[in-house]
Amino acid sequence: MTTAPRRTQLADRLRAAEPRPFWLANPARPAPPPRPPAQGHSEVDLLVVGGGLTGLWTALQALEQEPDTSVMVLEGSRIAEGASGRNGGFLSASLTHGIANGLSRWPAEMDTLESFGRANFQEIRSAVGRYGIDCGWAETGEIDVAAAAYQVAELEEDAAAARRFGWDAVVLDRESLRAEVNSPTYHGGLWHRDGVALVDPARLSWGLASAIEGLGGQLHEQANVTDLSAEGAGVRVRTDQAEIRARRIVLATSAFPPLLRRIRHYVIPVYDYVLVSEPIPADRLAAIGWTHRQGISDLGNRFHYYRLTEDNRLLWGGYDAIYYFGGATGAAREQRPQTHNLLLEHLLETFPSLEGIGFTHRWGGAIDTCSRFCVTFGTALAGRVAYAVGFTGLGVGASRFGAAVALDLVHGRDTERTRLRMVRERPIPFPPEPARYLAVQATRTALARADAHAGRRGPWLRLLDRIGAGFDS
């Protein structure tokens, strides 16, 4: 147990860290100059609201499919300032937040969903090369580590499921895992050797934005949409400085307040927090190993995810997901000292050899959380508006697929994608406040209790499992 003086000491070590995402504040990779907001009156074929990865992939694919179409992206802040620049940079081929989650919801479609996921991953790799996007792409794979003895039993089952769908998955016992990455907390692990790349998500976003402009698309920042309504055969939106009429609109608003009331039923903002260290000296990194530089996450319900950056900083996040009453968002919630301090405690328990290392960045960001843990879709205004939201922390890769589905929907296309149950079905809605807040807190408490009792799911978690809203990660 960490003592009070020790907690104070750890907190002191984090105070000097810049309260900003490393990806957005890395002096070696500065952000591009701001783009001007939209002004005046304009008309476009396709308007995309939201300049994160989902919105950018929507615009890029629309221009690739129809080079003569006019496309505009409106971003309320800066490109990559939202979830797209605040995550850990794990780009997974999974569209369903893991095979187990997909099998529990759409078992008959999993062969198709995994095939789509594999193709989506390959298309992202291809686009990164085709447009010369310098995002640090590294296909390292990912290790799921058993940080408690009871979790070891899951490894063989998870490996068998991965191999069933053609993935390269290797179970590592305690010694083999510690030879890869040396931590006294590890009991075993599952190395997914393909289907996961590590990227700098902000640079990926900036590169996609440049590619869109290269194909003739328009991007505007600081263009907060305040109103959306039908107008004739199209849709009209307003910002503080502009009015745009579009034939079709795709909403890619992530966890931010949506323009359609129905989205509020299915998506809530849950804050995740992250630390980034100073570059780790070569001798200290050698003591850990990690020569294959895999992304890592542990198998707890409240899990950590971590990785090395290109310049050998340790990025460490997760565990303490926070929902604020009423779905409140904003800059005031991007810093939570008690969570950042807890993350540092856990980091040093996992890697005690890093005692004394400094930290340069700390931040938080809102995850668009859905009760089924993966993207949900819908349309509005007689099909002229489509949306793809609710990626629940796995949107770095799945956002491209979500964008492709949204384009199919807004164009009224009957495709293999739009016929998926995953696309046609809605998730279990969240209850209204105050029941929503109470339910989230009850779930957090139940997950903590399960982690403390060898993963045994109590009555509340079993109820969620039965109604199709089982929180298992």
> Which residue has 């890619």 as its token pair?
252
206, 51 in Cβ contact below 8 A? no
User: Which is nearest to 319 in space by CA: 276, 270, 353, 389?
Assistant: 270
Best CA proximity match to 207, nearest among 138, 127, 139, 140: 127
* pLDDT bucket at 8, cuts 50 / 70 / 90: confident
pLDDT tens-digit profile of 91-117? 999 999 999 999 999 999 999 999 999
Alpha carbon distance 381, 246 (integer Å): 12
- Tell me the β-bridge partners of 271: 322, 366
pLDDT at 3 over 80: no
Strands 71-74 and 218-220: parallel
Cβ within 8 Å of residue 321, ≥6 positions away: 270, 271, 272, 302, 367, 444
Q: Is residue 294's pLDDT more than 90?
A: yes
What average pLDDT does this structure show over 31-52? 96
Query: pTM (2 decimals)?
Result: 0.96
Q: Using alpha carbons only, what angle is made at residue 203 by residues 385 and 29, rounded to the nearest 5 degrees?
A: 145
pLDDT at residue 6 above 80? no
Alpha carbon distance 233, 159 (integer Å): 51
Please tell me the distance from the alpha carbon of residue 304 to that of residue 316, in angstroms, as a whole number: 7
Q: Can you tell me the mean pLDDT for 42-64?
A: 98
pLDDT tens profile 269-282: 999 999 999 999 99
- The stretch 10-24 carries a mean pLDDT of 91
Mean pLDDT across the stretch 390-418? 97
Question: What tokens does 95 get?
Answer: 């569209």
27 prior amide bond cis, ω within 30 = no
H helices within 228-295, ranges in order?
Answer: 261-266, 282-288
- Cβ distance 299 to 472 under 8 Å? no
Q: How many CA atoms lie within 13 A of 402 on its CB side?
A: 32
- State pLDDT tens for residues 150-173: 999 999 999 999 999 999 999 999
Report the distance separating Cα 151 and Cα 300, nearest Å: 8
**What is the average per-residue pLDDT within 343-350?**
97
Q: Are 368 and 257 in contact (CB under 8 A)?
A: no
Residues 141, 143: Cα–Cα separation, whole Å:
7
Burial class of residue 121, CB neighbours in 10 A (0-12, 13-18, 19+): buried
Helix (H, G, I), strand (E, B) or coil at 10: helix
Percent share of the chain, pLDDT over 90: 92
pLDDT confidence of 473, banded at 50, 70, 90?
very low
Q: How confident is the model at residue 471 (pLDDT cuts 50, 70, 90)?
A: low
Question: How much is the average pLDDT of 192-220?
Answer: 98
Rounded to 10°, the helix 53-65/201-214 angle is 30
The owner of tokens 């799921």 is: 144
Residue 196 Cα distances to 102, 121, 169, angstroms: 17, 8, 12
**SS3 labels along 107-154:** HHHHHHHHHHHHHHHHHHHHHHHHCCCCCCCECCCEEEEECCHHHHHH
What percentage of the chain has pLDDT greater than the value 70?
98
Contact 321, 393 (CB under 8 A): no
Distances (CA, A) of 130 to 123, 227, 278, 378: 10, 36, 33, 31
Bigger pLDDT: 466 or 119?
119
Choice among 74-88, 121-135, 261-275, 459-473 with the minimum mean pLDDT = 459-473
**How does 55-77 read in b/e, with b if 16+ C-beta sit within 10 Å?**
bbbbbbbbbeeeeebbbbbbbbe
Note the pLDDT of residue 296. Answer: 98
Calpha distance 114→96 (Å, rounded): 9
| pLDDT single digits (tens) 298-324 | 999 999 999 999 999 999 999 999 999
H/E run at residue 376: strand 376-380
pLDDT of 4 = 66
Angle between helices 53-65 and 395-410 (to 10 degrees): 50
How far is 20 from 30, CA to CA, in rounded Å?
13
User: Which residues have CB under 8 Å from 24's CB, separation 6+?
Assistant: 31, 80, 81, 85, 202
Determine the residue type at 213. Answer: E
- Please give the Cα distance from 355 to 433 (Å, whole number): 43
User: Token digits for 165?
Assistant: 């769908």
Distance from the Cα of residue 104 to its chain's centroid:
21
- What is the token pair recorded at 52? 């994160």
**Contact at 8 Å (CB) between 326 and 433?**
yes
